[in-house]
Amino acid sequence: MKILLIFPNWTMVFGAFSRVAKRASSFPPLNLALLGAVAEKCGHEVQIIDAELENLTDEQILKRMQDFSPDIIGLTATTPMFHIVVNLAYKIKKVSEVPVILGGTHATILKEKAFNDCFDYLFVGEAEETFTLFLEALENGKGFSSIPGLLLRENGKILFTGIQNPITDLDKIPFPARHLLKFNHYKTGTLRGRKIYTSIMFSRGCPYQCVYCCIKVFGRKVRKRSIINLVTEIESVINQFGIRHFCFVDDTLTLNRNYILNLCDEIDKRKLKITFDGSTRANLVDEELIRRLANSGLIRISFGLESADPEVLKIIKKEVPLESYIKANKLTRKYGIETNNSVMLGLPGETRESIDKTVSFLRRTKEIQEATYSIAMPYPGTEFYEMAKKGEHGLKLHTEDFSKYQRYESAVLSVNDISPEELLHLQKKGLFMIYLVPWRVLPMLRRFGILALISPLYASIKSFIKNMFYKKRKSKI
């Protein structure tokens, strides 16, 4: 059979920050490459369209679809891109009778609510085993009701076949079919220049309980690939594609210290000349670990700061001391590793005072080289979403129109007496305040380039000035 897998064009949801998002990284759709590998292993012909990478219109996607003439089409969606995928699926249905599958986090969380009539099947949870069984049944004309992890329609009713158990042995999953992607077009910005890279993952699951994060796809139990399996994939990518920079997309890179030390041992043993980046918690690094990672190729790491207000951190269940971020950033810079610290505003319990605390902390802390400053989004499946719906911790959810769930261009809730409109003003003002210091803006210019920064900087300055006039008018009333 011929299988077409499509990743939508969705960077436009970043609005004024779209150029920065594209400049920072064009992410290879690892989930589709994994499913592509599964399908090829079963003997099928696969094509992947990354509409985001190629900036394709829906009409261009449809043209490629018709040229390929697939037997089945798979689409993936997170919450912010769901409306884009639905629109594309309806267009597909107008010109084709080919069955359309929806997968991804949004489908997994909302199940029936996401099962629009433009989709014939919906995959829930980890899809590799479900996809294998599905393709076998489809090819042999069998039914699907006995395959776990599926939503389908029978006699006009929606049938859920039950939960697919998480894959316990991750080594059994074939390496992603990167040859189906335009692998040499994925680039990421670093202070050492733009690098061709690929994404890679060694674990699934997260033991933490941060209220803004959805763990329902992979669960809390952490499962890991063997070191040999992981490094063999890295080596095969080098040999097959010539790619030497890797982005680990695991939730917490240094969750298991011994695992990472063993990974460094194997990379060094095979004398692999690579660079890589990842994300972790600031309290899960130490000097020996960072030194070993740097020697093995780590050049960039991200920490989830979220807020500088201890009360907010307590509510969101992310009680990592601020001192840990100062120490972690200082340590990584000592070994020449770039850092980023993600921050959100509009979190449960947020006040203007807590927002000021965060901005002030970032302005005065020179150890923190780079920070992203986004609007907190209560995505379905998170505790944050339930808090917002119930009105807890000063939250009020204003819309469940998921096309509005854009972390940099819209706010869908208010918190205490801070309106969605004011949150947007505070975000842009915060970016302006955080980055208008020479020791922070110069590295950003090297990483993203002047053109990538003009649009969000202009938006930040405009919002800052507008907010100043607003305050003056308010004080005169």
Q: Exposure of 376 by Cβ count < 10 A (0-12 exposed, 13-18 middle, 19+ buried)? A: buried
Cross-strand pairs, 101:
74, 121
Q: Is 384:212 a contact under the CB 8 Å cutoff?
A: yes
Query: φ, ψ for residue 268 (rounded to 5)?
Result: -70, -40
Q: What is the pLDDT of residues 410-423, one digit of tens each?
A: 899 999 999 999 99
Q: Checking DSSP bridges between strand 275-280 and strand 413-415, what pairing results, if any? A: unpaired
Q: 82-95 and 58-68 helices cross at what angle (nearest 10)?
A: 50
Give the pLDDT of residue 457: 54
Query: φ, ψ for residue 300 (rounded to 5)?
Result: -155, 140
Look up the pTM and report it. 0.89
CA–CA dist 260, 199 (Å, integer): 17
Write the CB contacts of 298 (distance below 8 Å, at least 6 apart in sequence).
275, 276, 277, 278, 290, 337
Give the pLDDT of residue 466: 54
Write the CB contacts of 271 (distance below 8 Å, at least 6 apart in sequence).
none
Q: Is 289:257 a contact under the CB 8 Å cutoff?
A: yes
* Burial annotation 263-276 (CB, 10 A radius, 16+ → b, else e): bbebbeeeeeebbb
| Residue with the larger pLDDT of the pair 56 and 214 | 56
User: Structural domain boundaries of the chain?
Assistant: 2-160, 186-476
Q: Does 273 have pLDDT greater than 60?
A: yes
Q: What is the pLDDT of residues 163-210, one digit of tens each?
A: 999 999 999 999 999 999 999 999 987 767 778 999 999 999 999 999
CA–CA dist 392, 383 (Å, integer): 11
Please tell me whether residue 149 adopts helix, strand or coil conformation.
coil
Query: φ, ψ for residue 200 (rounded to 5)?
Result: -155, 155
Closest CA to 280 of 299, 305, 245: 305
Out of 3.30.499.10, 3.30.70.990, 3.50.50.60, 3.40.50.280, which CATH number does the structure's domain 2-160 have? 3.40.50.280
The pLDDT of 445-474, averaged and rounded, is 53
Q: What percent of the chain has pLDDT over 90?
A: 79
The pLDDT of 428-448, averaged and rounded, is 75
- CA atoms 272, 236, 196, 11: torsion sign: negative
The pLDDT of 389-404, averaged and rounded, is 96
Q: Across the chain, what does the average pLDDT equal?
A: 90
Q: Is 39:3 a contact under the CB 8 Å cutoff?
A: yes
| Residue with the larger pLDDT of the pair 442 and 401 | 401
Q: Does 309 have pLDDT greater than 90?
A: yes
Of the segments 417-421, 461-465, 473-477, which one has the largest average pLDDT value?
417-421
pLDDT band at 477 (very low <50, low <70, confident <90, very high): very low
- CA atoms 285, 287, 293, 294: torsion sign: positive
Q: What is the pLDDT of residues 349-380, one digit of tens each?
A: 999 999 999 999 999 999 998 888 999 999 99
Q: What is the pLDDT of residues 123-173, one digit of tens each?
A: 999 999 999 999 999 999 999 999 999 999 999 899 999 999 999 999 999
Amino acid found at 147: I
Q: Is 317:211 a contact under the CB 8 Å cutoff?
A: yes
Find how far residue 75's CA is from the centre of its chain.
Answer: 17
Give the pLDDT of residue 22: 53
Of the segments 9-18, 47-56, 186-195, 445-454, which one has the largest average pLDDT value?
47-56
CA–CA dist 453, 455 (Å, integer): 6
Query: φ, ψ for residue 433 (rounded to 5)?
Result: -70, -40
Closest CA to 171 of 230, 249, 238: 230
Closest CA to 246 of 40, 403, 30, 469: 30
Domain 186-476 has CATH 3.30.30.10: no
Amino acid found at 48: I
